[in-house]
Structure 1
């Protein structure tokens, strides 16, 4: 392990540089990292990477899901709950079934059960890939909300299908009654355990004498305990992390201090930045191990099978997207739906095209055991692995590279907002200032007349409440203010260097204040 440490260290540095390059050339970083991993894997002296699926499931997956749950809006998830649930569960099942029938018919030696196993592996789109790609384009809020909500749940449903198929292959039988009970327990148990563990940690944050550092450590521990607790009782660890994360995210302002929230965001962004980079680089680096195990099937045929399954996945998702619209338009005649208006042909096409696969699919494929309980080799394991790799690679390259271009060429209708985000932001800012001023004058009139600091705060809120759109800080003003902040920093640093007896901690506090002022520029 120590001998390989410099390699892993250089890998992280390479990931940072590649993501910088991806941002520069406006390409989603998962695509660039997978390609880089592929290229690196062909270098002779590079050690062969063996990806332990337990590392993906137990080390990488919980924090990535947890961070995603904190970033999603529960209000938006609930608003679009029907289409999110249909894509996360119904579409995943239909996709797995389509893959099963196609694989059984076209791939020699593939039984229907093995097809369902492959379908469970490749059916869930990857959340990180879609999120990274959508950063470069402007999409309506409803579309991003649907994709975020779906991505939180589809891993759980696909892994449930994968588990049942794995049991059926190992035992040679499938009992529907037992499967139904097990499925129910995975859903109910996973959600319940996540909520219970989340509630316990929420009370710990609230009533224990924690500071910001302790709170951040507890948030890092939380998803792992949720996942392990659920998996220990054979329920869904993914659903546990998602449900617990949504609970804590929705209640974050009730049990975390402002310092913990502010500093925790930075820590979590850095942590997930590294984890996301590593998992996509590992996908590319896994190629030698995957191709080395490919026996009994020539490479061209295996690639053809991978292309076939990829086409099934892409076409199936597009058809499902249009099917969801049709069902919604029919259902609006009988029940209240989130939006009864037709989104046209553009939105379903984009939703259908955002089906990039990622590391969860690869980890599931790698977790297939080498041997059955009777000691015989697991049928078609290596081919399943290879097909999974081809699916991930093709969806990332084809859909990942073309999605931004497709969105730019097919402008999406914005059915939600009549004002821009910036206009809405400043409107709420003025309303918030007016509300604060009213509360101050109503409840603290005596203190307001006696305290100059409160009078200064009142004047600031009066200015904010009365500000007009043309008085908002222009870009030129921001540049001037940024230059002033930089000059203040230089002055503080010079003062600290010149005065040897001056407590540097005082200077650092002023520097932190200037950092916060600069950060506020992004909200003005």
Structure 2
């Protein structure tokens, strides 16, 4: 491994450069990383990146799921619970069933159980791909909320299908009542263990004398603890991480200081950024090994590619049907219950149906298939399953990923008015916060307010927020002037630190940090 260490560093640098390129040309980075990994894999002498299948889930999934749960809005999740639930569970199960029967019918040697293994692998759309693509185009808030919520839960439902199918392949039988009991325990036990472990870590943050670094380390350990505890109890580790992550996210201001939240957010963004980059690069780099495995199974490259295209078509067509089917169900349900939108139209469902890119979870599930089963026999068609998964990921990322921004611009999605406009919301919150702050000062500290310069200065700042029609957002040309002044301050501080030996550099760094915060404030405030 050590002899390949420079190559691993080069891969990380390449990932960063490609993401920079993606931001520059406005192409989602998962597409570029997969294609780059594919091209790099054909370079002679390139080391093969191999990871133990049993470690794939535990290395990548817990932190990626936890960060997604942490970033998700419980309010939006609950508000769109019906449509999210239908896509995350019903659509995933129907997709897995469709893939299973198509694979069983058209792929020689594919049993129905093996078809369900493939269906469980490729049924969940990837959140990272969708969010990376949607950041270049403007979509209604409801659509992004539904996609985020769906991707958070569909991983759990698809991996439950995957797990039961793996058992059926290994044992050659499927007992429905045992599966039903096991399914109930996986769901209830997974959620319960996730909440319990989350509560333990919440109390640890509150009661132990931790500092910022310790808080961040605990947050890094938390998803792995949730996942391992649930898996040891034979429940769903994915549901444990999702439920525990949502619980801790909802209570984050109860047990983390502002410093821990700010620094922890930066650490987590970098950590997840690296994991996502490695996974998508790994998809491309794995192709030569997968193709070599196909040859061992005696399956031609073109034949396997045809199977991959067929399964991709089933996935895209099935999701489009589900999206338009949801419109019909919503209209029927509106006569019996209150629904968010009785007439959502056809443009939004079309876009929802086209956001079915596959990625991280599908790859991790496929790579986790053991080479040899517990009975000592090789896992049937493992390399073909891996190759079909690769084709599905590649085609959905390239075809749907590259065309989705164009489609969104062309169809001109309606403004559903689910949320207030951004500027109006900011103005309203700013004014209400100012009123709340001034009321508190006048009620609880009237004497200090009269005699304290600092409190009067703060009160004056809040009063300015209440001046009607005052332009709170700094004009762009003023921003440029202010940022130039801040750059001048940085230059002076750095020069002062260089020339004055008796000045403590730690103090200089504090001032530099304050200047950085001020620049962020002027850019985004």
TM-score of the pair, normalised by structure 1: 0.97
Deviations for 1:399-455, whole angstroms, at most 9, x for unmatched residues?
111111111111111213474212311221122112211221122111101111100
How do 1:371-520 and structure 2 match up within 5 A? Answer: 371-417=372-418, 419-466=420-467, 468-470=469-471, 472-520=473-521
Pairwise CA distance, 1:207:
1.5
Match of 2:316 in 1: 314
CA distance in structure 2 between the partners assigned to 1:190 and 1:512 by the alignment: 42
Instruction: Tell me how far 1:341 sits from its aligned partner.
Output: 3.0
Structure 1: distance between partners of 2:161 and 2:88: 12
SS at match of 1:466: coil
Evaluate the alpha carbon distance shift between residue 61 and residue 471 of structure 1 in structure 2; reply closer, same or farther with a 3 A threshold: closer
Partners of 2:332 and 2:229 in 1: CA distance: 41
**Which of 304, 307, 310 is 1:305 aligned to?**
307
Residue of structure 1 equivalent to 2:327 = 325
Mark the CA change 1:167 to 1:417 in structure 2 (over 3 Å): closer, same or farther. Answer: closer
What corresponds to 1:194 in structure 2?
194
- Cross-structure match for 2:352: 351
Whole-Å separation in 1 of the counterparts to 2:240 and 2:439: 43
After superposition, the Cα gap between the structure-2 partners of 1:136 and 1:325, relative to the gap in structure 1 and judged at 3 Å, is same
The structural deviation recorded for 1:371 is 3.3
| Stretch of structure 1 that moved more, 405-414 or 371-380 | 371-380
Q: Does 1:135 align with 2:135?
A: yes
Q: Deviations over 1:16-72 (max 9, x none)?
A: 011101111110000000000000000111012223333331111111111111111
Q: Do 1:70 and 1:249's aligned partners in 2 also have CA atoms closer than 8 Å?
A: yes
Contact kept? 2:62, 2:241, Cα under 8 Å: yes
Describe the SS at the equivalent of 1:210: coil
Q: Distance in 1 between matches of 2:244 and 2:391?
A: 34
Using the TM superposition, give the Cα deviation of residue 301 of structure 1 relative to its aligned residue in structure 2, in angstroms: 1.1
Query: Residue 216 of structure 2 corresponds to which residue in structure 1?
Result: 216
The whole-number CA distance in structure 1 between the counterparts of 2:508 and 2:371 is: 60
Q: 2:48, 2:419 → 1: CA distance?
A: 54
Indicate conservation of the 8 Å contact 2:141/2:419, yes or no: no
How far is 1:325 from its partner?
1.8
1:288-343: per-residue Cα shift (whole Å, max 9, x none)? 11000002221111111100000000000011111112112211221233x13311
* Matched position secondary structure for 2:461: helix
1:96-135 to structure 2, matched below 5 A, reads 96-135=96-135
Question: CA 1:452/1:373 → structure 2, altered by over 3 Å: closer, same or farther?
Answer: closer
Shift of 1:83: 1.1
Hey, what's the Cα distance between the residues in 2 that align with 1:257 and 1:164? 42
1:373, CA displacement in angstroms? Answer: 4.2
| Structure 2 partner of 1:7 | 7
Q: Which moved more, 1:417-426 or 1:110-119?
A: 417-426
Residue 480 of structure 1, CA deviation: 1.2
| Structure-2 change in CA distance of 1:374 and 1:206 (3 Å) | closer
Partner of 2:19: 19
| Cα distance in 1 for residues equivalent to 2:64 and 2:301 | 34
CA contact (8 A) 1:64 1:272 kept: yes
Partner SS for 1:191: helix
Tell me which residue corresponds to 2:341: 340
SS at match of 2:466: helix
Q: Deviation digits for residues 153-206 of structure 1, max 9, x if unmatched?
A: 111111111111111111111000110011111111111111001111111111
Provide the rounded CA distance (Å) in 2 between the counterparts of 1:509 and 1:467. Answer: 36
Q: 1:374 to 1:218 in 2, by over 3 A?
A: closer
Correspondence for 1:92: 92
The answer on whether the counterparts of 1:51 and 1:282 sit within 8 Å (CA) in structure 2 is no
Match of 1:158 in 2: 158
Which segment is superposed worse, 29-38 or 371-380? 371-380
Aligned residues: 523
CA pair 375-472 structure 1, distance change in 2 beyond 3 A: closer
Say whether the 8 Å CA contact 1:72–1:149 is kept in structure 2. Answer: yes
How many Å separate the matches in 1 of 2:452 and 2:383?
Answer: 75
**What's 2:285 paired with?**
285
Aligned residue for 1:511, secondary structure, equals helix
Question: Comparing 98-107 with 35-44, which one deviates more in the overlay?
Answer: 98-107
Kindly provide the CA deviation profile for residues 129-171 of structure 1, in whole angstroms up to 9, marking residues without a partner as x.
Answer: 1111111111111101111011111111111111111111111
Equivalent residues of 2:67, 2:268 under 8 A apart: yes
SS for the counterpart of 1:434 is: helix
Q: Measured at CA, do residues 471 and 107 of structure 1 come closer, stay the same or move farther in structure 2, by a change above 3 Å?
A: closer
Distance 1:314 1:14 in 2: 31
Contact 2:474 2:522 in 1 (8 A): no
The answer to whether the Cα contact below 8 Å between 2:100 and 2:115 also exists between their aligned partners in 1 is yes
Distance across 2 between alignment mates of 1:351 and 1:135: 15
Q: Distance in 2 between matches of 1:359 and 1:85?
A: 21
Q: Cα RMSD between the aligned structures? A: 1.3
Aligned to 1:293, what secondary structure does the other structure show? helix
Determine whether 1:149 maps to 2:153: no
